[in-house]
Each structure stands twice: as structure tokens, then as C-alpha cells.
């Protein structure tokens, strides 16, 4: 009677998240860019609200049920390097994990070019991850397990308040942006429902690597030689349909949800940006870098930053710092690149 | 050409991924579907998640 209900609900959650992100302009790469360039922290404040509300719901839930799983990942040198590169590359294409899917769904040609490379990069990352893990110590720290849920929540919320204060300090005008706060409330509700329904927090990049791995299998690649893919969880994901994989379902949903939200306005916007052809080569490289780095960093802005911090994983906070430092460089390089790539009438 | 062409391209990309997976890998098995929601059920999270870290020898 209930066959496939969980999969349908997960896909619907993805559609709702994609619609919300596109409709309200809620994101990660863009707000970080505005904070770095213009000292405007409203978007980062909204991110903190969304993560904090999600943490309040999911940390007690995960601790109380053996059927639910938190987004806890290890910290290491290669993980920090991965997060740094991800932060740098996401500014080049102005699309993070969720942002690239939402932008692709809204018909953005840059994201459509970057997305296949992102998938391939994520798959390549799975091939080098075991070697990266063997090369440096990896230590996972779960705040709920180490401190207990009330103390973990307190530490998480205090950290988010400090981050929100830092991001909006000295900002002229209103700190609170109403549409972004509405989006933050919606995203927090949907991310909490995701844990209840799927049993694990919202993620993006696992699905992208899985799609490329399945394509590689079709081309003759043998997964039994890859340490990542012989693990029972991943081997099962490879052998099962993508329609039963949680992150694939939400990823598909994100694209469809963004497409629904963008369709009306998309009829008035040109498909091709006025940029020189060589920029697409840089975008493909950035997409590959996003994929590889997000695998080494155990997630992107969603799986590592949003869901990691909300779950009480210290790795999420380390990811945040490393990726933000990378973003500072990425913003500068993007401005330089786009200045040279943008076609002018005189050119 | 407007962005609607890009939206159609993105939807087509998803359709291609699902169709090729269905053709070469097979359709989902309806008899192996988990409970409607993971919370409180015996069939919890799949564990196929972005933060997945494969165990390495000695760690």
C-alpha cells in the first residue's frame, strides 16, 4: 500500500526546496559574494537562521531515534583543502552545490555547462578519496555525542549568532531581509522534514557522483577496483535505481522546482550571456574542481555546511571557514575573468 | 533564444539520466521499498550521504 511513498515524498521535498531557493533568491555563493564585495550580510544572516532552526529540530530527533542519521564527517588536511577549493570554484561560476542545480533548472547556461563537469568531478573525487583518507589523519567530532544534545545545541546556536553578528556588523540599512527570512523559515522546515522522511539530512553531491559512476559503468568502468564503491552502502546505491537514492531524488527535485519557479520570467531573458567562448572552458574546469573538492571535503555548502552544522558536526564549521577563505580569492578571480570575458560593443 | 530553452535542456538532462539508468540498470523494485517515513521505522537512512567516509585501515 505504501510502496515508494518515501521516494515520492523525498522528490516532492526536493521540488519544494528548489522552488523556494529560486523564488526567493536564497542561496550560498551569492550572499557570500555580497558579504565579501559589499559588506552586505543579509543573506548570511538568513543562512544562519535556516541552519539554527534546522539544528533545533534535527539534533534532538537524531539523538532520539536509531533510524535517523546525522551529517557527521571527519576533519583533515585534505578536507580543509577541498573546502577551500570548493569555496574558490563556487565563486567562479557563482553556483555552489544547490546553486548549480537551481541555476541549471532556471535555464542558466553557465550552470548547464558546469553541471556535467561537476558530476564527473564528484565521481573522480570518489576514486581519490580513499588515498586522501589514508594520507592524513581524519577525525570526526559530533557535538551531540561529545557534549550531549542541549550543550551541542547551545554551542551551535551561539556559533551561528556570532557568525550572523560578524556578517552584519557595521552594515548600513536593515539587517533583516523579509523575503530571505521567509525563505530561511521554509528551508528550515523542509530540511527538518527531509530528516524525518529520508532518515538523513539534505545533501547534494553524493547524487552527482553516483550519476557519473553509473555512466562510467555503462562505458565499461569496473567498480570492484574502487575502494569507495565496494563499500556495501555505495555498492547498493550503484546497483539500485537512481529513483531510490535520496540525494538523487532531491537533486532532481531541485532542478524541477527551480524550473517551475523560473519558467514565467525565463521567456524574457536571453539564454546566452554575452561572454567569450573561452570562458566556458574555465567554467568546465571550475565544475570539475567543485566535484572533486566537494568529495574530498565530505560535502558541499548543503551536505557539509548546512546539514553538517545543523547536525552538530564540527567538520561543518571547519568547512565554513576554509570555504569562505577560498571564496575571498574566488570573488577576485571571478571579477578579473568576467571583466576579460564580457563582450562589449567595441570588441 | 530565451532561458526557456535552457530550462528544457535541464529537464531533458534529468530525463536522460533517469531513462538511461532505467534501461541499463533496471526499474526500481517495488517490493523493496522502505517504510513511508524513516522516523520510527525499521528501515532508516540509506547512509548514502555526502558526508559518507569510507573506513580506512588503521583509522
Give pLDDT, residue B44: 85
How far is the CA of A112 from the CAs of A106, A108, A137, in angstroms?
10, 6, 36
Quote the pLDDT of residue A272: 79
**Whole-number pLDDT of residue A346:** 47
pLDDT of residue B58: 53
**What does the DSSP 8-state code read for residue A302?**
I
Cβ B38 vs Cβ A198: under 8 Å: yes
Q: What is the pLDDT of residue A347?
A: 43
Q: What does pLDDT average to in each consecutive run of 10 residues of chain A (347 residues)? A: 82 98 96 94 97 98 94 97 98 93 96 97 97 94 97 98 94 86 98 97 97 94 94 94 95 98 90 87 97 97 97 98 98 94 64
Is A217 exposed, middle or buried (CB count within 10 Å of its CB: 0-12, 13-18, 19+)? middle
Model pLDDT, residue A323:
98
Place of cell 552544522: A309
Contacts 24+ apart (CB under 8 A), A79-82: A79/A138, A79/A296, A79/A297, A79/A298, A79/A315, A79/A318, A79/A319, A80/A297, A80/A318, A80/A322, A81/A293, A81/A296, A81/A322, A82/A292, A82/A293, A82/A294, A82/A295, A82/A296, A82/A297, A82/A298
Task: Inform me whether the C-beta atom of residue B12 falls under 8 Å from chain A C-beta atoms.
Answer: no
- A-contacting residues in B 29-58 (Cβ below 8 Å): 30-31, 33-57
Contact B50, A202 (CB under 8 A): no
Instruction: List the single best residue of A1, A2, A3 to mutate versus B (max B Cβ within 10 A).
Output: A3
Q: Least CA distance to A303: which residue of chain B? A: B50
Reported as a single tens digit per residue, the pLDDT across B2-32 is 899 999 999 999 999 999 999 888 777 777 7
With beta carbons under 8 A apart, name residues in chain B contacting A252.
14, 18
Which of A68, A104, A294 shows the shortest C-beta gap to B10?
A104
> Is A73:A315 a contact under the CB 8 Å cutoff?
yes
Is the predicted pLDDT of residue B57 greater than 90, yes or no?
Answer: no
Residue A1: the pLDDT is 52
DSSP string, A85-100: HHHHHHHHHT--HHHH
Residue of B nearest to A112 (CA): B10
- In this complex, the residue of B22, B26, B40 whose CB is nearest that of residue A67 is B40
Residue A314: predicted pLDDT: 98
**Mutation choice for B interface testing from A57, A106, A107 by most B CBs within 10 A:** A107
- Tell me what pLDDT residue A3 has: 66
**CB distance A22 to A102 below 8 Å:** yes
Run of H or E including A75: strand A74-75
Rounded-to-integer distance, Cα B59 and Cα A139, Å: 9
Residue of A nearest to B22 (CA): A241
Q: What is the ipTM of this complex?
A: 0.93
Q: Flag whether residue B23 sits within 8 Å of chain A, measured between CB atoms.
A: no
Residues of B within 8 A of A215 (CB-CB) are 20
Q: Give the SS3 label for residue A270.
A: strand
Tell me phi and psi for residue A69, to 5 degrees. -125, 135
Of B22, B36, B48, the CB nearest to A2: B36
Test B7 with A271 for CB contact under 8 angstroms.
no
Nearest CA in chain A to B14: A252
pTM: 0.95
- How many C-beta atoms surround the C-beta of residue A145 within 10 A? 14
Amino acid at each position: 500500500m505504501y510502496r515508494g511513498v518515501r521516494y515520492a515524498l523525498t522528490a516532492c521535498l526536493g521540488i519544494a526546496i528548489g522552488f523556494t531557493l529560486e523564488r526567493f533568491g536564497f542561496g550560498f555563493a551569492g550572499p557570500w559574494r555580497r558579504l565579501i564585495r559589499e559588506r552586505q550580510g543579509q543573506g548570511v544572516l538568513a543562512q544562519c537562521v535556516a541552519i539554527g532552526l534546522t539544528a533545533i529540530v534535527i539534533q534532538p530527533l537524531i539523538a532520539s531515534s536509531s533510524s535517523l542519521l546525522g551529517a557527521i564527517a571527519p576533519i583533515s588536511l585534505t578536507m580543509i583543502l577541498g573546502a577551500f577549493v570548493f569555496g574558490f570554484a563556487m565563486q567562479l561560476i557563482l553556483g555552489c552545490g544547490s546553486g548549480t542545480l537551481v541555476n541549471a533548472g532556471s535555464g542558466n547556461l553557465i550552470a548547464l555547462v558546469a553541471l556535467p563537469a561537476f558530476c564527473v568531478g564528484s565521481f573522480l573525487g570518489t576514486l581519490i578519496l580513499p588515498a586522501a583518507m589514508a594520507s592524513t589523519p581524519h577525525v570526526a567530532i559530533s557535538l551531540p555525542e561529545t557534549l550531549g544534545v542541549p550543550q551541542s545545541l547551545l554551542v551551535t546556536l551561539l556559533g551561528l549568532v556570532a557568525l550572523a553578528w560578524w556578517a552584519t556588523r557595521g552594515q548600513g540599512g536593515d539587517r533583516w531581509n523579509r523575503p530571505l527570512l521567509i525563505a530561511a523559515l521554509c528551508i528550515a522546515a523542509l530540511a527538518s522534514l527531509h530528516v524525518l522522511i529520508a532518515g538523513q539530512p539534505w545533501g547534494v553531491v553524493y547524487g552527482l557522483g553516483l550519476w557519473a559512476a553509473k555512466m562510467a559503468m555503462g562505458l565499461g568502468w569496473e567498480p570492484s577496483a574502487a575502494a569507495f564503491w565496494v563499500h556495501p552502502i555505495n555498492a547498493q546505491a550503484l546497483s539500485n535505481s537512481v529513483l531510490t537514492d535520496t540525494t538523487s531524488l532531491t537533486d532532481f527535485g531541485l532542478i524541477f522546482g527551480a524550473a517551475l519557479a523560473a519558467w514565467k520570467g525565463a521567456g524574457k531573458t536571453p539564454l546566452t550571456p554575452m561572454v567569450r567562448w573561452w570562458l566556458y572552458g574555465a567554467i568546465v574546469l571550475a565544475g570539475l574542481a567543485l566535484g572533486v573538492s566537494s568529495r574530498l571535503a565530505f560535502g558541499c555548502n548543503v551536505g557539509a555546511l548546512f546539514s553538517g552544522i545543523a547536525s552538530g558536526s564540527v567538520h561543518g564549521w571547519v568547512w565554513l571557514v576554509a570555504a569562505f577563505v577560498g571564496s575571498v580569492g574566488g570573488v577576485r578571480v571571478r571579477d578579473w575573468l568576467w571583466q576579460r570575458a564580457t563582450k562589449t560593443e567595441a570588441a | 533564444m530565451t532561458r526557456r530553452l535552457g530550462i528544457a535542456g535541464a529537464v531533458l538532462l534529468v530525463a536522460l539520466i533517469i531513462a538511461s539508468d532505467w534501461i541499463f540498470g533496471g526499474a526500481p523494485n517495488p517490493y523493496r521499498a522502505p517504510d513511508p517515513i524513516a522516523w520510527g521505522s525499521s528501515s532508516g537512512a540509506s547512509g548514502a550521504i555526502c558526508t559518507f567516509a569510507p573506513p580506512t585501515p588503521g583509522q
